[in-house]
Structure 1
Amino acid sequence: MTDPEAHEHTHEDAWRAILTGKARGLQLTRKLVGWIPAGPRCKLCLAPLKPPGSVLLKIVGFGPSRLNRRLCRACFRAVEKNPGGAEIELSFLFADIRGSTSLAEHIPAQEYSKLISRFYGKAAEVVDKQDGLVDKFVGDEVVALFVPGFVDGNPAEKAIEAARGLLRETGNDGGDPWIPVGAGVHTGIAYVGRVGEGDACDFTAVGDAANLTARLASSAAAGEILVSSSAAHAAELDTDGLESRTLELRGREGAVDAWVATAETLAVSPAEE
């Protein structure tokens, strides 16, 4: 007789191996397809998602998924068939448009829609460039995950670099921004995997770490990246000359320490490069 609890632990261990990049089958697939020239790749197996590379693999089921542009069909089916996930350490990036309510009030709805679409597009570009996963776009906010198994390098450093890139792409680097953006970056433990039931399922991350990052982002002024102390430590952030803040965040009992970074802040201490 199968022990349900043992089966659940086995399932969780499998997810943890995937999310931390230690799954042998996934490592082998990455090696096999990694040599194929490509632009965007599946965040799990590295299969090319656009021609010419995708043409070679489409016939064996590795073509781009129509339901999730960041995964190939094979990986998306695997995620669908294996509900669950695992608690792991990862880094989050939340970025908000500052003053979006007032902005929407003073320009036509169609113009506002185009502005938001442009913001979404720039966010997707910089997150993809740093090996992150766009978790969701919600109104005037973008949420991105930097999962160890999907990132080539340091997830916290990549999250900060993505935040810096987004500020530059939106003009929040000392000039006149075409849209004002502030961001928050945090590293912590969260449950990552397939969350939900039935048709209301998604690959996402949930937990206190996600909530804390959201609060950091909402506290950041335009042009600022509020980096939690844990993210700064994980990224080996050079904090010399950076402003430190102790924040009383809405909905949290204790204060949170953070560093204020900008588009031009070095993500890694020069001594560690």
Structure 2
Amino acid sequence: MSEQDAPLEREDGNRELWATIFGPGGHPVLSKQHWLHRKLPRDPRCRLCLVPFSGLGGWIMGKRGKAPSSRNPHYCAACDGFLETFPGGAEVEMSVLFVDVRGSVGAAETMPPADVSARINGFLERGTALITAHDGFIMAFYGDCIVAVFPPGFCGEGHAQKAIAAAKALCRIEGDDPVPLGVGVHTGPVYIGTVQAARGLFRDVSIFGHAVNICARLAANAPPHSAVISADCFIAAGQQVPEEAENYTLKGASEGVRAAVVTAAPHGRLA
């Protein structure tokens, strides 16, 4: 088993620094990097500073010490060094988005493995592009699922609006073979910070908390080509909670969660 495949354990510490990076306002140095790096082509990018790893931008920044880390290719060498030097995390109010494919198990029974892989990879590529276009921070890929957050430090005060906009864009994904996906969106307190594998030789950034579980459960309740968005997210976005919102009884939640379904109608229109 490699370090990246080993179980990861949450780390604590450096709370003030992590709260500054992901909380309202963001860290001034990292915020400046985000502004600059978003202008450079092209994806994939460092998950923390958004420096490009490919194209002309990737070549230029690689020469400046921002090439992918040899220990963790999700981060540039500089940001990987930051994770090593300042492990820990903080609780921050933010918006969370889960999106996954419906019926992938059944499709795998009837399609050649290569076709299944191409279909899922196509979904992941398109979904990632849409989420990052709305300033989302990709946390992880779990099979046919994408987990993303919209922290105030990355997205500004409009993090909930951007999460809702990303969810609607995902519902409108079209193509020769539209993938039936379901989306969940929720806003609440989330612990974001580093996790480490055995002996601390591999670190990544992950999210924890009840708000994360709620979002995952909402995604599981979303019909194909639809998003289930919590009332908390609509309120955080300064939007009216749709009249058709209802209480969802979610596994692991002691109280019902009020949420509404946003559905993509044929030809990409939103119902």
* TM-score normalised over the length of structure 2: 0.81
1:39-69 CA-partner distances (Å, limit 9, x unpaired): 4565544544444334443333223446344
CA contact (8 A) 1:245 1:260 kept: no
CA contact (8 A) 1:47 1:57 kept: yes
Cα distance in 2, alignment partners of residues 76 and 224 from structure 1? 36
Task: Identify if the C-alpha distance between structure 1 residues 38 and 208 changes in structure 2 by more than 3 Å, giving closer, same or farther.
Answer: same
Indicate yes or no: 2:21 matched with 1:18: yes
- Larger CA deviation: 212-221 vs 34-43: 34-43
Q: In structure 2, what is the equivalent of residue 211 of structure 1? A: 213
Task: Identify if the C-alpha distance between structure 1 residues 110 and 44 changes in structure 2 by more than 3 Å, giving closer, same or farther.
Answer: closer
Q: In structure 1, what is the equivalent of residue 173 of structure 2? A: 169
Task: Identify if the C-alpha distance between structure 1 residues 135 and 253 changes in structure 2 by more than 3 Å, giving closer, same or farther.
Answer: same
Taking every aligned residue pair, what percent have the same amino acid on both sides?
35
Indicate yes or no: 2:89 matched with 1:85: yes
Q: In structure 1, what is the equivalent of residue 253 of structure 2? A: 252
- Output aligned runs, 1:1-273, within 5 Å: 11-20=14-23, 21-27=25-31, 29=33, 33=36, 37-40=40-43, 42=46, 44-65=48-69, 67-69=72-74, 71-151=75-155, 154-170=158-174, 178-197=178-197, 198-199=200-201, 201-239=203-241, 243-263=244-264, 264-265=269-270
- Larger CA deviation: 224-233 vs 51-60: 51-60
- Superposed displacement of residue 213, structure 1: 0.4
- Superposed displacement of residue 78, structure 1: 0.7
- In structure 2, give the amino acid aligned to 1:243: E
Q: In structure 2, what is the equivalent of residue 5 of structure 1? A: none
Task: Identify if the C-alpha distance between structure 1 residues 208 and 57 changes in structure 2 by more than 3 Å, giving closer, same or farther.
Answer: same
1:87-135 CA-partner distances (Å, limit 9, x unpaired): 1011111112112222222222222122111111111111111111221
- Superposed displacement of residue 36, structure 1: 6.1
- In structure 1, give the amino acid aligned to 2:18: W
Unaligned runs of 5+ in 1: 1-7, 267-273
SS of structure 1 residue aligned to 2:245:
strand
- In structure 2, give the amino acid aligned to 1:190: V
- In structure 2, give the amino acid aligned to 1:221: P
Structure whose CA Rg is larger: 1
- In structure 2, give the amino acid aligned to 1:236: G
SS of structure 2 residue aligned to 1:14:
helix
SS of structure 2 residue aligned to 1:169:
coil
- In structure 2, give the amino acid aligned to 1:249: L
- In structure 1, give the amino acid aligned to 2:19: R
CA contact (8 A) 1:95 1:141 kept: yes
Cα distance in 2, alignment partners of residues 51 and 85 from structure 1? 32
- Superposed displacement of residue 265, structure 1: 4.9
SS of structure 1 residue aligned to 2:239:
coil
SS of structure 2 residue aligned to 1:91:
strand
Task: Identify if the C-alpha distance between structure 1 residues 216 and 35 changes in structure 2 by more than 3 Å, giving closer, same or farther.
Answer: closer
- Superposed displacement of residue 200, structure 1: 5.2
Cα distance in 2, alignment partners of residues 160 and 185 from structure 1? 7
